[in-house]
Amino acid sequence: MVSVIRNIRKRWFLAALFFTSLVYFIYKTSNSRRDLTRNETSFKLVQNVQRIEVFLRTLKWQPRVNVPNQTSNNPSQQCRNSLQGKQLIVDDNGYVCKRDYLLDNGCCDVTMHDTGRYACKTCQTSNCCSVYEHCVSCCLQPKHKNLLEKVVRGLKTNTMLIMMSSIHDQFDLCLMKCRTSSTSVRHENTYRDPSMKYCFGVGAPELRMF
């Protein structure tokens, strides 16, 4: 028994104890995986940036090639539209109209006087709007190409990478960008700005204090 205690006091024993603890400590605290994957991650980042640039180059921008007549409907064309609205709908040429004035081909009836193209009616200079359809229509303005490129580059990479493969033109992009998302909320269960929650610009809606 005494010899055991004596051994414990010996320098070599304490040194051994220390080193085992040290090894254990390093193993536990330092995230060695992070070091290993750092190179890999930075490589991935470069690759992802390239992918986003390719995506932006291949994206089809407004106006579409077959420019629709401004004053009469073209029965031969087909439109995609925003589908969801309670009262309004926006088609892929940027026209906003009442649900009642949606033609059989999915396009807005451009002959109705309250149908408007690239309408920013409820949008603010912050590029946030109170009506979803106005957000999409406004976002479709050809002049917003640069802004949208900036938006795409600034988005959370992961989300953008997943979504990219399903977005083919400015209409798809605007439909998506105008939706409320993780950037629209604070404290998770409230909107940052309940009245202007649909945004196509860079950054989140302004915080409203109550």
Partner 1 sequence: SREAKIWLTVYVLLLFCSVSVCTGLCMVCVLDYAHCSVDTLHLQHSSDIVQNEFIVQFDGYYSKTDRHLIIFAAASGANIINSSIGVLERTNLGNAYPSDFDVLQIATTSINKVANMNHARIKSITPQRRFVGSLKSFHKKADWKSYFKKFSGVHFHRSRVPLKAIGNNKQIAEAVQAKQMWEAGFKGQGVKVAIFDTGLPAKHPHFKNVIERSDWTDEETSDDGLGHGTFVAGMIGGSSSDCPGLAPESELYIFRVFTNNQVSYTSWFLDAFNYAILRKINVLNLSIGGPDFMDKPFVEKVWELTANHVIMVSAIGNDGPLYGTLNNPADQMDVIGVGGVDYSNNIARFSSRGMTTWELPAGYGRIKPDIVTYGLNVYASDLTGGCRALSGTSVASPVVTGAVALLLSSVKKNQRDLINPGSIKQCLLASADRLPSANIFEQGVGKLNLVEAYKVLSSYQPQASLVPSYLDFTECPYMWPYCSQPIYYTAMPIVANITVLNGMGVAGTIKGSPTWHPYTSHNGKYIDVSFSYSNSLWPWSGYFAVSISVKPEAEQWEGVAQGHVELTVVSPSEDNYEGREQSTVKLFIKVKIIATPPRAKRILWDQFHNLRYPAGYFPRDDLHTKNDPLDWNGDHIHTNFRGLYLHLRDAGYFIEVLGSPYTCFNARHYSTLLIVDPEEEYFPDEISKLHKDLTEEGLSVVVFADWYNSSVMTKVKFYDENTRRWWMPETGGSNIPALNNLLHPYGAALSDRVSEGSFVVSSHEVYFASGTSILQFPPNSMILSKPLKDQGKEILSGFSSEMKESVPILGLHKIPGGNGGKLVVYGDSNCIDDAHLTTDCYWLMDALLHFITQGILSPALESDKGLKKLKSQFKVAGEFPNRMEGNHLFKYSKVLEAHLGKPIPRPLPSCSSLEWELPFFINESSPQFMWKPQKL
Positions in 105-124 near partner 1 (CB under 8 A): 109
Q: Which of 3, 9, 39, 67 is close enough to bind partner 1 by CB under 8 A?
A: 9
Q: Which of 25, 38, 54, 195 is close enough to bind partner 1 by CB under 8 A?
A: 25
To partner 1, the closest distance from the beta carbon of 160 in angstroms equals 10
Residue 33's region, left for phi above 0, alpha for psi from -120 to 50, else beta, is alpha
Spatial separation of the C-alpha atoms in residues 186 and 114, rounded to whole Å: 36
> Judged by CB, which is closer to partner 1: 144, or 197?
197
Q: Which of 87, 142, 206, 208 is close enough to bind partner 1 by CB under 8 A?
A: 87
Angle between helices 157-164 and 32-58 (to 10 degrees): 50
> Judged by CB, which is closer to partner 1: 65, or 102?
102
To partner 1, the closest distance from the beta carbon of 145 in angstroms equals 21
Spatial separation of the C-alpha atoms in residues 142 and 63, rounded to whole Å: 6
Examine residue 68 and say whether the peptide bond preceding it is cis (omega within 30 degrees of 0).
no
To partner 1, the closest distance from the beta carbon of 128 in angstroms equals 15
Positions in 158-197 near partner 1 (CB under 8 A): 159, 162-163, 166-167, 172, 176, 179-182, 184-185, 187-191, 194
Positions in 41-80 near partner 1 (CB under 8 A): none
CA-closest candidate to residue 93, choices 135, 130, 61? 61
Task: Label the pairing between strands 190-191 and 198-199.
Answer: unpaired
DSSP 91-132: BTTSEEEEGGGB-TTS-B-TTSTT-EES--TTB-TTSEESSH
- Asked if 107 contacts 91 with a C-beta cutoff of 8 angstroms, the reply is yes
SS3 for 10?
Answer: coil
Q: Which of 1, 3, 5, 28 is close enough to bind partner 1 by CB under 8 A?
A: 28
Q: Which residues bind partner 1 (CB under 8 A)?
A: 9, 11, 14-15, 17-18, 21-22, 24-25, 28-29, 83-87, 99-104, 109, 159, 162-163, 166-167, 172, 176, 179-182, 184-185, 187-191, 194
